Structure formats: C-alpha cells, structure tokens
C-alpha cells in the first residue's frame, strides 16, 4: 500500500499529552509510528481542533503524528485571543519541549498561518510545509489599523449555539447545514464528538472552542501584519493549496493571497477551484494524497 491511500485497518486512537506553554496547557494528540519517517505536525483551522485530522493521520502509519489543539480550541483551554503570534509561540514552545526537528508541518487556514510563522521564527523545526488555504492575505489587508470587529460589532461566531445535550444532538443539528453538509462523514463526526466538553454547569456538553474565543480569533485577523515578511524568510519547500475564491465574507471561499507561494523562497502553488476552503474536511483522501506526493511517498 502506498502512503496516503485508504487503510484497511484503523490506526489506534492517539494519546493526548499536555505541554505547559505561555500560561496554558497545550493539548497535543499523538500517534506513535511503526516506522522511522519524519514526524507530521498538524494545525487546524479556527473553531476546530486537532482530532479533525484523524482521517488523514491514519493514512501515514510510518510517521509519528502530532495534532495540536491550538490555544482556546479543543482541550487547550484558554481565554479569547487578541494576537495570532501567541499561537505561533505556543507551537514553537511545544516543538522545543517535544524535541521535534525536521518535521513536516501540515496546516489548514489559521493553523497554516501559524505554522508559517513558526517556520520563520524557529528554522530547523520543519523540513517542509503543506498549507491548505492559509489565512495569509494580500498586503493591503494588513494595512488598516482599525479592528475588523469590536465589542459593539462582534463577529457573528459569538452567537453560535454553545450547549448540546450530547455529541449526537450536535451531529443531528448540523449534518444538513452549510458548510457541514460538505464534510466527509468521518471528519464531520470527529469534529462533533471531539469538539465538545462537559458543560461547566454540569448539564450536558458545550463547545470546546467557546463562541467568544472563536469570535476573538476572527477579530484578531490583522494582529500579525508581519506574516508576509515571515513567509518570505521561510527557506524550506512549501506547498500552498488554494481553493476557489469568491468573497471574503464567504467561509467557503479561499482567503489566501494568490501570490503567496511565488513570494516564498521555495514555494509551490496548487490551485484547486474544485474545492472550498474546507478541502481537508471535504476530501481527506485527496488531502492525504497531496501530502504524500509532496513528501515523496506517493
């Protein structure tokens, strides 16, 4: 079987380890390997968690895998976020504590942005990056100084339903809704089952990524104006996978600056207009194939 292809037997569930970083306990879901291939480090999009990568991680049994719950997401409990650079510092600290170097970083959306900043700040930690629709926009996006959202005009995510009786209730509520109806069934179920924690009031479950945290991430989208300069310092092979762009107000649209890969020292651009911003969720087998090809294992 070639790496990246569907497996006939499921990889054992990961273990979860907590790393103390910048005042929080960062949760990292870890799979041991049955080979000696390079570690794979996964970073997720805003509002999600590390376990959305399970369906892809299982396709790379020769690699140790580390799927991070970024600050304020999943089991990495934290307050709202006002600076995306803190996410990168968290990840860099984890990589140092875990003794990881030469890893393949695989990021989606805000997670991809985070891995680019880490690669610029901590050369050697990554040997390659695969970036699915990174939230790295054109230079003019970062020029304004005013906040995208304010306390009087918060991001709509702050109004998300927080409480659910169970994971099954969440699955039933969202299965037919946009954009969740685009998701691969396995990924959607993983998102729901691992995206809830016991409610603070002891009654049922609640979103692991609290609505106010998710809204704060969107509100802080301009908090790292140096990301383009950082991207231009990254001197390892980088694959930028871009989906179709419509408008920035459409969550399914690609936010990625089309010139990003060309401005990077070893960047390659893969344009996939047949996919939305949720490419790894829509078709994890295709995402795994792209990763495998880029790391020479297809």
**First and final C-alpha spacing in the chain:** 10
Q: What percent of the chain has pLDDT over 90?
A: 87
- Whether 225 has a pLDDT exceeding 50, the answer reads yes
- Burial track 200-232 (b if 16+ CB lie within 10 A, e otherwise): eeeeebbbbbbbbbbbbbbbbbbbbeebbebbe
- Phi and psi (nearest 5°) for 26? -85, 120
Q: Name, in order, each residue with C-beta under 8 angstroms of 165's C-beta and a sequence gap of 6 or more.
A: 204, 205
pLDDT (tens digit per residue) in 46-105: 999 999 999 999 999 999 999 999 999 999 999 999 999 999 999 999 999 999 999 999
pTM of the complete model: 0.95
The domains found in the chain, sorted by start residue, are: 15-157+213-294 (3.40.50.1820)
Which 8-state DSSP code applies to residue 204?
Answer: S
pLDDT (tens digit per residue) in 157-203: 999 999 999 999 999 999 999 999 999 999 999 999 999 999 988 89
């Amino acid at each position: 079987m070639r790496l990246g292809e569907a497996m006939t037997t499921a990889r054992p569930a990961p273990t979860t380890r907590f790393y103390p970083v910048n005042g929080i306990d960062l949760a990292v879901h870890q799979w041991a390997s049955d080979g000696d291939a390079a570690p794979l480090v996964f970073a997720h999009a805003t509002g999600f968690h590390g376990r959305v990568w399970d369906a892809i991680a299982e396709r790379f049994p020769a690699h140790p895998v580390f799927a991070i719950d970024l600050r304020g997401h999943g089991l990495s409990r934290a307050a709202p976020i006002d600076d995306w650079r803190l996410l990168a510092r968290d990840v860099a600290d984890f990589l140092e504590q875990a003794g990881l170097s030469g890893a393949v970083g695989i990021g989606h959306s805000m997670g991809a942005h985070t891995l680019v900043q880490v690669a610029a700040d901590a050369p050697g930690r990554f040997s390659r990056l695969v970036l699915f629709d990174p939230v790295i926009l054109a230079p003019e996006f970062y020029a304004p100084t005013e906040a995208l959202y304010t306390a009087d005009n918060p991001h709509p995510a702050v109004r998300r339903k927080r409480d659910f009786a169970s994971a099954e209730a969440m699955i039933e509520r969202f299965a037919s809704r946009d954009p969740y109806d685009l998701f691969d069934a396995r990924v959607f179920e993983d998102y729901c089952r691992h995206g809830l924690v016991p409610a603070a009031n002891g009654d049922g479950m609640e979103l692991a990524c609290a609505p106010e945290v998710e809204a704060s991430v969107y509100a802080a989208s301009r908090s790292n104006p140096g990301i383009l300069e950082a991207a231009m310092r990254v001197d390892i092979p980088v694959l930028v996978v871009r989906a179709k762009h419509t408008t920035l107000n459409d969550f399914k649209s690609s936010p990625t600056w089309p010139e990003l890969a060309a401005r990077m020292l070893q960047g390659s651009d893969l344009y996939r207009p047949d996919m939305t911003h949720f490419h790894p969720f829509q078709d994890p087998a295709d995402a795994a194939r792209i990763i495998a090809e880029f790391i020479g294992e297809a």
